[in-house]
């Protein structure tokens, strides 16, 4: 019988040769072998007869065994001869049971059309030194606009308003067209001087849930629900709308716009924010009931609840994919750094207060004296820097203190009842890069490790000073996932450095800088990060400001601190809260909407589209 290797080799050769050729070659080889074997057997018989030992029966047995062996050898040799020329034998065939045989790799799926378009849009982008942002289009609305969402290429721009309608605009037709605002529209939008283009609407639909009768018919007119949050698919196939009653509706956008596909119920109050997963197969919702919920879009069911201390949620965001480690795979005890885009002086080391307290010219940062106001300061009613501390209205400086990693930041805010503990180095070192950020109205910012399923594990809040007012209306990640920008009620934006090193001795989130707007600017109602990971748009009551986060408050080449205003004014909104801003991934447009999002405050009834110009 042939061996296993021979059997497997036979299969390979039979696949590579025709049946007629194989049969003919085998027969010819057998005839030649039998002819040669007869002469050989005759000589062997003569030798056996002249030998002393042996018998006729033994000779017959030996002839049978010898015949089988010869036949097996001939068949094997024949199959080797008929093999196709130039085809090398397969290593797996020669040693089919080799212990080091490589396992077949899984088939790699080709990129989807959406991934191809995303790659094409983002390829070849060179980030400039700075930006200039100008309002070029105004879209008047009959009421406050709570939410915005757009496709990846900004072809579709949808707005969600307090009147319960979702409107879809063609942004490129608006900015490239020649339709301008009329005089009544300019007055409505507050654009008194100059000429500004008007928006081009595609369609609109109602954010309503029809009530069905027992027989399946619709009972009366459906009720309209104000839209408090929006999220859209990158190719504008569908959109999500969160209402003031706690449900999230799934609508089609590109095809049959406005068709209601599914409604998800879970929140007990307004849905204040929505965030899509990176694969767009699920999303996260944040509500006034203090809960963040993870949804599965394939089933429409709830996957997980993220519950903290019950305070209203103002923002929710998933850490960008650019934050994934590129050097080593994450794991306990491993070390990696979050990649940073562009050249920065602070990439390789965290901020050290002693480096900025003095320089060669003798200039010093003014430190706050906590002892002056420990007994009298009330963060809810007192103005910031009322004790004379701080660096003035236009200051933007690295904070001279930090949280639980050993630096002196003064006293921290009292932890709310039921809030998770402050992140310590040991806990944060065990976190994976797959983080979810939630910001609460009381000022607390909490990080969740999405891979941790055990209750009470994989969660922690960022350190906050006792002087920080209990109001946070907006927070977001930087484009590279290394920082978190938190807008405060006292006109400041706190920048947390959340880079992970995988070591318990470093990498704890800490306040890296504090950007201070003028005292007259009012509450910071919205913040949005630019895709270059260096610039930040900050919306206050009076204006929208553009900050260069990487250079704000940093000394120049001579060690001197930069003087003067360190931000740019973005014209457009003024005199009201900005509910949401969004910037496209290529940093070509910035869109802003105005409303108080259901809280107290003034607002306008206009959506502005800004053109972003790159300055190299």
pLDDT digits (tens, 9 = 90+) for 419-463: 899 988 888 888 888 999 999 999 999 999 999 888 878 899 999
pLDDT tens per residue across span 232-253: 999 999 999 999 999 999 999 9
- Of the two residues 289 and 194, the one the predictor is more confident about is 289
Residue 311's alpha-carbon distances to 209, 288, 291, 366, 462, in angstroms, are: 28, 7, 8, 34, 15
pLDDT tens per residue across span 372-417: 333 343 444 444 443 333 333 344 444 433 444 444 556 777 888 8
Is the pLDDT score of 354 beyond 50?
no
pLDDT band at 295 (very low <50, low <70, confident <90, very high): very high
- Of the two residues 212 and 491, the one the predictor is more confident about is 491
pLDDT tens per residue across span 5-58: 444 445 444 445 555 565 666 667 666 666 665 555 555 444 444 444 444 555
* Block residue for tokens 């903290």: 308
Residue from 222, 193, 218, 217 nearest 206 by CA: 222
Residue from 208, 110, 211 nearest 165 by CA: 208
DSSP E strands: which ranges in 47-144?
130-140
- Of the two residues 121 and 460, the one the predictor is more confident about is 460
Q: Model-level pTM greater than 0.85?
A: no
Mean pLDDT of the chain: 76
Cα 254–Cα 256–Cα 258 angle in degrees, nearest 5: 90
DSSP E strands: which ranges in 105-226?
130-140, 145-150, 156-161, 165-170, 197-198, 201-206, 208-209, 223-224
pLDDT tens per residue across span 52-79: 444 455 554 555 545 556 655 655 565 4
Q: What pLDDT score was predicted for residue 103?
A: 58
Q: What pLDDT score was predicted for residue 246?
A: 93
Q: What pLDDT score was predicted for residue 217?
A: 75
* Block residue for tokens 């459906």: 222
Q: Using an 8 Å Cβ cutoff, are 558 and 363 in contact?
A: no
pLDDT tens per residue across span 583-609: 999 999 999 999 998 888 889 999 999
pLDDT band at 93 (very low <50, low <70, confident <90, very high): very low
What lies within 8 Å, CB to CB, of 254 at 6+ separation is 156, 235, 236, 237
């Amino acid at each position: 019988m042939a061996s296993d290797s021979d059997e497997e080799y036979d299969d390979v050769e039979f696949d590579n040769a025709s049946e007629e050729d194989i049969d003919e070659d085998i027969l010819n080889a057998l005839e030649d072998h039998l002819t040669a074997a007869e002469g050989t057997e005759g000589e062997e018989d003569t030798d056996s007869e002249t030998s002393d030992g042996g018998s006729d029966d033994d000779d017959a047995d030996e002839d049978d065994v010898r015949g089988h062996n010869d036949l097996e050898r001939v068949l094997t040799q024949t199959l080797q001869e008929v093999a196709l020329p130039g085809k090398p034998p397969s290593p797996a065939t020669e040693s089919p049971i080799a212990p080091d045989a490589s396992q077949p790799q899984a088939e790699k799926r080709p990129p989807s059309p959406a991934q191809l378009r995303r790659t094409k849009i983002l390829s070849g982008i060179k980030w400039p030194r700075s930006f200039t942002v100008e309002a070029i289009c105004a879209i008047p609305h009959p009421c406050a606009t709570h939410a915005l969402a757009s496709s990846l290429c900004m072809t579709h721009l949808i707005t969600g308003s307090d009147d319960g309608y979702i409107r879809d605009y063609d942004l490129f037709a608006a900015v490239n067209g020649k339709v301008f605002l009329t005089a009544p529209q300019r007055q409505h939008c507050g654009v008194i001087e100059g000429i500004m283009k008007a928006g081009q609407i595609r369609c609109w639909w109602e954010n309503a849930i029809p009530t069905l009768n027992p027989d399946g018919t619709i009972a009366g007119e459906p009720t309209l629900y104000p839209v408090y949050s929006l999220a859209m698919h990158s190719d504008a196939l569908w959109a999500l709308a969160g209402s003031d009653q706690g449900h999230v509706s799934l609508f089609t956008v590109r095809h049959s716009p406005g068709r209601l596909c599914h409604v998800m119920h879970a929140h007990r109050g307004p849905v204040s924010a929505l965030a899509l997963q990176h694969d767009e197969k699920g999303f996260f919702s944040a509500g006034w009931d203090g809960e963040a919920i993870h949804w599965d879009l394939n089933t429409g069911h709830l996957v997980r609840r993220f519950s903290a201390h019950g305070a209203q949620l103002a923002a929710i965001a998933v850490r960008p994919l650019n934050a994934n480690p590129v050097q080593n795979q994450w794991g306990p005890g491993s070390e990696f750094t979050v990649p940073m885009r562009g050249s920065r002086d602070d990439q390789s080391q965290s901020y050290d207060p002693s480096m900025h307290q003095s320089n060669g010219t003798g200039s010093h940062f003014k430190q706050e004296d906590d002892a002056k106001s420990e007994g009298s300061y009330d963060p809810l009613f007192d103005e910031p820097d009322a004790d004379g501390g701080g660096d003035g209205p236009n200051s933007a400086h690295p904070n001279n203190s930090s949280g639980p990693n050993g630096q002196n930041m003064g006293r921290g805010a009292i932890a709310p009842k039921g809030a998770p503990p402050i992140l310590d180095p040991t806990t944060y070192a065990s976190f994976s890069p797959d983080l979810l950020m939630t910001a609460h109205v009381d000022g607390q910012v909490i990080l969740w490790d999405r891979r941790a399923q055990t209750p009470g594990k994989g969660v922690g809040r960022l350190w906050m000073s006792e002087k920080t007012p209990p109001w946070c209306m907006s927070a977001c990640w930087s484009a590279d996932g290394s920082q978190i920008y938190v807008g405060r009620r006292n006109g400041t934006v706190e920048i947390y450095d959340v880079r992970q090193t995988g070591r318990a001795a470093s990498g704890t989130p800490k306040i890296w800088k504090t950007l201070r707007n003028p005292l007259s600017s009012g509450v910071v109602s919205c913040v949005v990060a630019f895709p270059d990971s260096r610039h930040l748009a900050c919306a206050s009551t009076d204006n929208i400001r553009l900050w260069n986060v990487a250079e704000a408050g940093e000394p120049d080449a001579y060690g001197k601190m930069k003087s003067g205003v360190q931000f740019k004014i973005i014209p457009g909104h003024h005199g009201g809260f900005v509910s949401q801003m969004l910037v496209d991934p290529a940093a070509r447009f910035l869109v802003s909407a105005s409303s108080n999002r259901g809280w107290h405050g003034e607002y306008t009834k206009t959506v502005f589209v800004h053109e972003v110009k790159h300055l190299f």
